[in-house]
Amino acid sequence: MTTIDTAIDRAATVAMTPRRLVDAYVQEAKAECLRYLRNPGFLLPTLLFPSVFYVMFGIFLGHANSADAPRYLLASYGTFGVMAPGLFGFGVSLALERDSGLLTLKRALPMPPGAYLLGKMCMALLGAAIVSAILLCLAIFVAGAALPPSRAAMFFGVEVLGSLPFSAMGLLLGTLVKGQGAPGVVNLIYLPMAFLSGLWFPLSVMPPFLQSIAPLWPAYHLDRLALSAVGLGEGGNAMHVAVLAGFTIAFVGIAARRLRRHG
């Protein structure tokens, strides 16, 4: 039978070339970014909240602030802003897609392993880049922050890469909760962590106990690095980087185990 022969021939000759493999990763990341850029329910809160906070507290209500305030608030709201794409874009979408059957379909399809998570990571990085760029523009052109280009670039780099631990945290949360309850759970972690890490009020005005537990939260460490990038650092950068890397590895490790076991 000729049909069988040709079918077998085709299977033997057609292999996935490296170029097509790379294309699969690129397409997945592109699709993931596009779908979120087109989703106002995700995009608006992510981009708007930190920008609105910065405009309100850094610019309109900023007359009585010290000269350092525009930079200080840039670090705080920048950190607040880059947490969201990871926690929500990664965590909530994973939780929803585990529930909706999309993840099951992708596992059945010959999607290259890792393309799914890598796509979400690219989306979170892009989200973080957009938030950071908007805040930088507001700080430099509207609030008049004294920020040389080298520091602005450093801030941008720190915040974009700094979204990775929160993507990892989102990944873990996405494997723990499933379905429609996920946004609530993520908010219950996102908002208190932002507060307890001193992103809304400086830690120095908070009770000593809350100050003492601040290093428990990843957001605290990213905020310290961002402050350092804009020239308000207090040192210890290597330690902060190490803590964030540790959090990332731990979150990914636990999540990978859960995904392997439960899918």
| Interaction site with other proteins (CB under 8 A) | 3-4, 7, 10-11, 14-17, 20, 23-24, 26-28, 31, 34-36, 38-39, 100-102, 104-105, 107-113, 263
Q: How many other β-carbons are positioned within 10 Å of the β-carbon of residue 91?
A: 31
* Spatial separation of the C-alpha atoms in residues 40 and 25, rounded to whole Å: 25
* Spatial separation of the C-alpha atoms in residues 152 and 229, rounded to whole Å: 8
Give the shortest CB-3-to-other proteins separation in angstroms: 5
Q: Which is nearer to other proteins, 62 or 112 (CB)?
A: 112
Which residues in the chain belong to E strands, given as ranges? none
Q: Which is nearer to other proteins, 179 or 192 (CB)?
A: 179
SS3 39: coil
Written as one letter, the residue type at 114 is: G
Quick one: which of 227, 85, 207, 77 has its CA closest to 154? Answer: 227
Q: Which is nearer to other proteins, 102 or 161 (CB)?
A: 102
Give the shortest CB-149-to-other proteins separation in angstroms: 36
Give the shortest CB-38-to-other proteins separation in angstroms: 4
Neighbouring residues of 58: CB distance < 8 A, sequence distance ≥ 6 = 65, 69, 70, 73, 74, 77, 138, 139, 143
Q: Which is nearer to other proteins, 13 or 66 (CB)?
A: 13
| DSSP-assigned letter for residue 60 | I
Q: Which is nearer to other proteins, 120 or 224 (CB)?
A: 120
